[in-house]
Amino acid sequence: NLATLFLPIYCGLYLLGLVIVSKYRITREDHDAHLAQLNARKAP
């Protein structure tokens, strides 16, 4: 049955995504620094 294969894979990938997103830490200062770097690259 396709569901017995698809459901565990789907749930595993979903949980993996949650773990990856929860491990990504960024502060407001980090975000502002990244934006400043991007704007510096874009400016001629």
Domain ranges of the chain: 2-42
**22-31 tens-digit pLDDT:** 999 999 999 9
- Residue 43: how many CA atoms within 13 Å on its side-chain side? 6
Does the model's pTM come out above 0.85? Answer: no
**pLDDT band per the 50, 70, 90 thresholds, residue 9:** very high
The SS3 of residue 42 is helix
Predicted local distance difference test score (pLDDT) of residue 33: 98
Q: What is the DSSP letter of 28?
A: H
For the segment 14-42, the average pLDDT, to the nearest whole number, is 96
- Phi/psi at 21 (5° precision): -65, -40
Q: How far apart are CA 37 and CA 44, in angstroms?
A: 13
